[in-house]
Structure 1
Amino acid sequence: MQKHLVITIDKLSWGGIQRVMFALAEALVDRGVGVDFAVCEAGGALRDKVPAGVRVFQLQRNSNLATRLAALRSGIADWKTLLRPVLLARKPPGHLVYLPSFVGYLQAQRPQVILAAGRTLNIMSVMARRLAGSTARLVLSEHVAPSCDLAGSRKWGRRYLPPLMARAYAGSDAVIAVSGGVAEDLSLLTGLRRSDIRIIYNPIVSRRLVALADQPSPHPWLEPGQPPVILGAGRLVEQKDFPTLVRAFGLLRRERDARLIIVGGAKNEMVTARRREELLALAREMGVDADVHLPGYVPSEQVPAYMARAALFALSSVYEGFGNVLVEAMAQGCPVVSTDCRSGPSEILEGGKWGPLVPVGDHEALAGAMKAVLDQPPEREALRRRGAEFSVAAAADRYMSALFPP
């Protein structure tokens, strides 16, 4: 009988979790696993890029009242634990409003294994398995150190999720963290034993990813004979801290010729335009606006061509779950620098062996690190070999072991 897995995903638009789960799903289908996506929001730029053989099930949004009643009936926690994050919050957190719909999916499709991809989807999946009376194996995955984006959340209910997470995660069959830092943070926050949390690095590098570097040059600044280009990539959100990168670039330009390209957008065109203008205004203030370009959203299959031709990739994040873009850049032989943020970059770069690590928010240190790498770049082939260690095949093998243990 064919193995049958369902992966819960919030939406089919560009993001780190989506790219990881798409790569994993494709690799598991190649291993003979039947894979479903249970998706909260099935529209988006990735709708037509779902791997062949993966079935997509659109979950339906339910009322806040129905969600609260279902959460109570699930019995995974007492009403006091549910009170502030679910029952009294203006809206139930994250994607819990899809809970009754996911219960219906589990009862109708009866998968053997559930893989939840993200914090509130983890909680929802534990509740849904209980409510559906399902015997499916339940594996939860944590992609960002929870203390980084819960403690300072503007959403009142989210700040009270940790006790509910502790109860929910204890009700799973396995918990996966994408880095050692995420595992440590999750253990401290929930009380889960560190030894009970598996670390599986993200599935990133494949032959197809490496081959994407052979595309034509995607930008005139990346043509031969042009000044060296520093590349940044990611969503235009506070977490990525691109203002620090722009400030660092401004300092660097006082000492040497260079250009900066930052690819990525925000949640919609209006927010993208506003944040793009904020970064360009900062570049004008630094006197480097002529050497800074923000093209906005770039399809993920085009980004490797930027990385292969850039002189340097810079990650300026305040926090990460893993830092996929560092691996993607190294796989193309692109030198890297990064903030020493939680969590992932230090593990990827082995404490600075493969690229400098600088304090979060320190634009002077970042500028110095960028200059040092541009002045004395590492061997590109060595970077490619390090990037290749984070292969899709290796991660898929580890996921198979966690999802379908002997």
Structure 2
Amino acid sequence: MAVPRSSGSQMRILSIDFSIPYLLKDDNYPIGGWAVQLSIWLRALENAGHEAALLTWKGALAHVGSGQQIKLIETYDPEHGVRVAKYFYSYIPKILAAARAYHPDIMIQGVCGVHTAIMAFVAGQLGIPFVHRVVSDMNVDERCKVGLRFYEWLAYSWARHRTAAFLCQNEYQREKLAALFPGTPIHVLHNAVVVAEDAPAPLLRAERRYVAWLGVFRHGKNLPLLFRIAQEFPAVKFRVGGMPERQVDQSTLDAVNGLRHLPNVELVGLVRRADVQQFLSEATMLLSTSDFEGFSNVFLEAFAVGTPVITRRQVDPDSIVLRHSLGASAEDELALSKSVKMFWDMDANEYNALAQRCQIYVKANHSPTAKARELIAALTPLVAKSKHPGQPL
């Protein structure tokens, strides 16, 4: 017997991700920004009175254990199957069966690739809207196709044309998608970060001892630039948190090896979720050397503990660092390098005022509760239209 979809203001939302179980266990596993953000969304949606669940890999429930707020639904084992063919005889049927049993009102997926197409197809089979969350600037321009296998690009391209709405992280993404998909609803929804009500005040400058860098070691994070900056300032202490992704390029490996041999650099390995706050709170600044992002979670995590961000203009999301004076938003590599030295040498009183400003900003603008309301506001007309075809958005 079919279970009716949710009624009234409550919404039933289904998403997919295969790394959140590792995040929930705080495993020694590289976690992307979308998984962190999706976990925040799922908890915030539940707290707001909606139902939300996550499709994930077979065996995840036993791996994670009990007591998790996020509802996990197992699908398939990604370690088994014949390449490409497995999508048709295993992955799609299992995801479709699991989704049908959950009876969602709407499906959301982030990160470009085959799963975008699978979720779009499944949503179509269920007669419900499919929404795609863009998680990087490169997903909306010519760089997207370069990073995907041919069949992945075909799948992703097919899915984007069947998307009921896009959720973007910044205005650049919105503008690019608006040109590609005129008429499709596109919403800018900035990332959220959890800040406890009783969060301690930021540490004073005298208690901060290093420049922090935090992320997955991969091409777009530009570790060669980090290496050059650390070389330039031998009197400045750098602590680098992160680990390589499964397939890492040679220039990144060379940069990591170079960093390992600099006396002013400490490679601390993967910083577990439970330790991120302390790692960032004791830093004078968070340095980002990335070539591209969308809306970096670690920026918000730094602001939450009063740590300013030193970044490049192209990855300052909607220029929030520049507009709100939360650090430095550098035009080029030279300016980025100069900013590191300037903030390291900043007057303590000026620095302490900056640290307070960072924490006040993030509390006022990026709470999970507020972002969940924005998300539901974007999804509500889509669900209403699917239940009442012909209704204008």
Cα 1:158–1:10 change in 2 (3 A) is: same
Q: Do the aligned residues in 1 keep the contact of 2:218 with 2:245 (CA within 8 Å)?
A: no
Residue in structure 2 matched with residue 101 of structure 1 by the alignment: 94
SS in 2 for 1:232: strand
**Is 1:153 aligned to residue 144 of structure 2?**
no
Equivalent positions of 1:149-188 (< 5 A) are: 149-153=143-147, 155-158=149-152, 163-169=157-163, 172=164, 174-188=165-179
1:400 aligns with 2:371: no
What per-residue deviation string (whole Å, max 9, x for no partner) do you get for residues 71-130 of structure 1? xxxxxxxxxxxxxxxxxxxxxxxxxx7322221122222222212222233322111122
Q: Give the letter for the 2:225 counterpart.
A: T
Partners of 1:314 and 1:166 in 2: how far apart?
34
Q: Does the CA contact (< 8 Å) of 2:109 and 2:116 recur in 1?
A: yes
Q: Do structure 1's residue 249 and structure 2's residue 233 form an aligned pair? A: no
How many residues are paired up?
353
**Residue type matched to 2:194 in 1?**
V
Aligned to 2:339: 369
Partner of 2:34: 17
Distance of 1:200 and 1:315 partners within structure 2: 22
Q: 1:160 to 1:139 in 2, by over 3 A?
A: closer
Q: Which residue of 1 aligns with 2:356?
A: 381
Partner Cα distance (1:374, 1:107) in 2: 55
* Separation of aligned partners in 2, 1:45 and 1:365: 49
Amino acid at match of 1:114: M
Distance 2:201 2:257 in 1: 29
Q: Residues 303-349 of structure 1: CA distance to partner in whole angstroms, max 9, x if unpaired? A: 1111111111111101001111112111211122101225x534331
In the TM superposition, residue 293 of structure 1 has moved relative to its aligned partner by 0.8
Offset at residue 24 of structure 1 (A): 0.9
RMSD between aligned alpha carbons? 3.5
Task: Name the CA distance, whole Å, in 2 between partners of 1:401 and 1:7.
Answer: 17
Amino acid at match of 1:261: R
Query: What is residue 138 of structure 1 aligned with on the other side?
Result: 130
Question: For 1:241-320, what aligned pairs fall within 5 Å after superposition?
Answer: 241-253=222-234, 257-267=235-245, 278-282=255-259, 284=261, 289-320=262-293
Comparing 31-40 with 59-68, greater Cα deviation is found at 59-68
Q: Could you say which residue in structure 2 is the equivalent of 1:8?
A: 16
Aligned to 1:235: 216
Task: State the AA in 2 paired with 1:125.
Answer: M
User: How far apart in 1 are the matches of 2:331 and 2:150?
Assistant: 29
Whether the 8 Å contact between 1:27 and 1:396 is mirrored in structure 2 is yes
Corresponding residue number in structure 2 for 1:391 = 367
Amino-acid identity (%): 16
Tell me the residue number matched to 2:317. Answer: 345
The amino acid that maps onto 1:22 is S
- Post-superposition offset of 1:40: 4.4
State the Cα distance separating 1:65 from its structure 2 match: 3.3
**How much does 1:301 deviate?**
2.2
Q: Which amino acid aligns with 1:150?
A: C
How far 1:54 moved relative to its partner? Answer: 1.7
Q: Shift of residue 207 of structure 1?
A: 1.2
Contact 1:339-1:345 within 8 A present in 2 as well? no
Identify the match of residue 110 of structure 2 among 103, 117, 122.
117
Q: Distance in 2 between matches of 1:45 and 1:238?
A: 34
1:210 Cα deviation from its structure 2 partner: 4.2
TM-score using structure 2 length: 0.78
The one-letter code sitting in structure 1 at the alignment partner of 2:182 is R
Which runs of 5 or more residues in structure 1 are unaligned? 71-96, 215-221
Unaligned runs of 5+ in 2: 1-5, 23-30, 385-393
SS in 2 for 1:349: helix
